[in-house]
Structure 1
């Protein structure tokens, strides 16, 4: 949202200009409600229906809500059961707001009205959402909210990055080889899960090669991806080396 060509002092201009940060906050506030449900019309229309077979997969997964909450460092999740948490974590779309560019954010006081601010958010894509349709829904929603504010400021909505959802067939031979490898190294049968990761190359590889693609992570839920103290445990690193060796051995048995 852009107001003018330069930042202004709030003591001199506050109360007489349409501040872009107020417009932007109103726009961001319109995207999702306090329960986590996305407020963009039509956003859920194309989401694949939950089948009974898929629901049973979530019921069988071992998942400690309290441990996961402690690892996250939060007081409470949006949902109270394991199944609801996993469904909204893995198979339903979500909207997260990541930051505001252009606004004063450093320690101390600075009574400035920014001339231009940029809000950044992402929407998790899930089967069978269409990227272009979602973009159209988002733009129409934001432009509609903005028009109701009767603001003379300029609004521009853009999507610098977009990745289509990707879903693999866990009954493929590649996954069966991975299951056997994990059982050999870790002594436990693996859970087949979904995850929210921006890795568009997975779908691209599968589409171009017409071959099965598999994600075989060796990290843990508390590794803190993208956070200040991202890590991987030495145990998982060492056992992961063994896992890939056994996995390649299992693949060789398929041919």
Structure 2
């Protein structure tokens, strides 16, 4: 759970790994951006690793990150968050499931082989929790070099939908974050002197935020649903077969009631439909006690999780074009926007992973989407034009970003086995596909 910070300078070295006795080439890339004053902003380097270059084998690239959310024992942890501790079969520690555990499981899986069934590449970063600063630029720069021979990309940075059944993830929602600023003047005012005779920014802002979404969760922004695609029969069947326990999900979240009462409705609104969440108000009095002031300026913060085929620039325009009845100065901005991601579940990558999970866990995985946003999946897919899949090994109750984050010993061990089985399956499937392709070419 604890490790020293890596140096800034670009470095490379070779190490022998596991039983395969092959040489692992590691490159440390400095991604530190330059500030306006000319100084470098020191950031952890991105590690690019390469193991094996057999032209007969497919090349699989694994992405993971080793940075974590802040954690202190006094925040409610049962153990020291930076000392891995086993309790009742669970391994507790910050990063156990997000994302140090899966990264180490992948490396452990690689170590089990004497003869490599695939060529491996690794992308390990230390800035994922801060938006993967610098990663996109590095991917673009290395697309024609490091990634030129990559066939498949695997990410293991999310969780199963349930506590017990494995899953493969083929999509995620995007996220458009908005600020709404309402201002009436250049200073705060006394509510006894001005209350009742001015348009108060807080009152306007609350009315504005209330107009964004109705009590059923439906977004009240004209045109926001226009690009949401219709549910296909093939996908509907996927939803019907997914194992999802509403009561278990409530227990994991601590919520007593959901907006919808069936599994299918819940999953559709988590994955296939956009949602709008209000996060807070900046500039309002929030300390203990009472302060009877009228704030001169308040900023409301909300976000829209958009689904595939929703254009980020269109969503931004639709929010700005929504008629807001506000007599005060109003400014709407979108400081952050991430696009949704969608993969093809019929891709060889998913077929191989499905067989691997069936071999290790004895059952087919659920094919799921992620209601949150995974910018790196879209980033890798768009820049490299390679197949991308998310292959989680953590359970729904692992508590990523929360107190007492954990991964079960069972999931870690079986997840490592599943990764190893996947290497064998993707190697066999890749060779079979290329053999078929070559045969068809020769027949022509």
Q: Same fold (TM over 0.5)?
A: yes
* Structure that is richer in helix per residue: 1
How far apart, CA to CA, are the structure 2 residues paired with 1:177 and 1:189? 12
Q: Secondary structure of 1:194's partner?
A: strand
Judging changes above 3 Å, is the alpha-carbon distance between structure 1 residues 225 and 32 closer, same or farther for their aligned structure 2 residues?
Answer: farther
Does the CA contact (< 8 Å) of 1:220 and 1:232 recur in 2?
Answer: no
How far apart, CA to CA, are the structure 2 residues paired with 1:13 and 1:225? 47
Q: Which one of 330, 336, 341 corresponds to residue 166 of structure 1? A: 341
Cα displacement (A) at 1:225: 4.1
Cα displacement (A) at 1:186: 2.6
Q: Which one of 175, 189, 196 corresponds to residue 350 of structure 2? A: 175
Q: Which moved more, 1:238-247 or 1:18-27?
A: 238-247
How far apart, CA to CA, are the structure 1 residues paired with 2:404 and 2:189? 39
Computed over aligned residues only, the root mean square deviation of the Cα atoms, in angstroms, reads 1.8
Judging changes above 3 Å, is the alpha-carbon distance between structure 1 residues 224 and 28 closer, same or farther for their aligned structure 2 residues?
Answer: farther
- What is the TM-score of this pair, normalised by structure 1? 0.89
Taking the TM superposition and a 5 Å limit, the aligned residue runs for 1:80-95 are 80-95=261-276
Cα displacement (A) at 1:2: 1.6
1:14 aligns with 2:195: yes
Cα displacement (A) at 1:193: 0.7
CA distances 1:137-180 after superposition (whole Å, capped 9, x unpaired): 11111xx123xx4x1x2111111111222110011111112112
Cα displacement (A) at 1:251: 2.9
1:51 aligns with 2:232: yes
Structure 1: gaps (5+ residues): none
Cα displacement (A) at 1:136: 0.9
Taking the TM superposition and a 5 Å limit, the aligned residue runs for 1:55-70 are 55-70=236-251
Alignment partner, residue 197 of structure 1: 372
Q: Which moved more, 1:177-186 or 1:39-48?
A: 177-186
How far apart, CA to CA, are the structure 1 residues paired with 2:183 and 2:314? 26
CA distances 1:13-51 after superposition (whole Å, capped 9, x unpaired): 322332111111111101110011111111111111111
CA distances 1:211-255 after superposition (whole Å, capped 9, x unpaired): 1001112222233444x4262323334433333333334333334
1:212 aligns with 2:387: yes
Q: Secondary structure of 1:117's partner?
A: strand
Alignment partner, residue 145 of structure 1: 324
1:34 aligns with 2:215: yes
Q: Secondary structure of 2:329's partner?
A: coil
Judging changes above 3 Å, is the alpha-carbon distance between structure 1 residues 24 and 224 closer, same or farther for their aligned structure 2 residues?
Answer: farther
Alignment partner, residue 279 of structure 2: 98
Alignment partner, residue 222 of structure 1: 397
How far apart, CA to CA, are the structure 2 residues paired with 1:206 and 1:64? 32
Q: Which one of 75, 94, 100 corresponds to residue 256 of structure 2? A: 75
Q: Which one of 384, 389, 408 corresponds to residue 234 of structure 1? A: 408
Judging changes above 3 Å, is the alpha-carbon distance between structure 1 residues 178 and 3 closer, same or farther for their aligned structure 2 residues?
Answer: same
Does the CA contact (< 8 Å) of 2:340 and 2:373 recur in 1?
Answer: no
Number of aligned residue pairs: give it. Answer: 248
How far apart, CA to CA, are the structure 1 residues paired with 2:191 and 2:417? 61
How far apart, CA to CA, are the structure 2 residues paired with 1:233 and 1:159? 36
Structure 2: gaps (5+ residues): 1-181, 432-444
How far apart, CA to CA, are the structure 1 residues paired with 2:357 and 2:311? 34
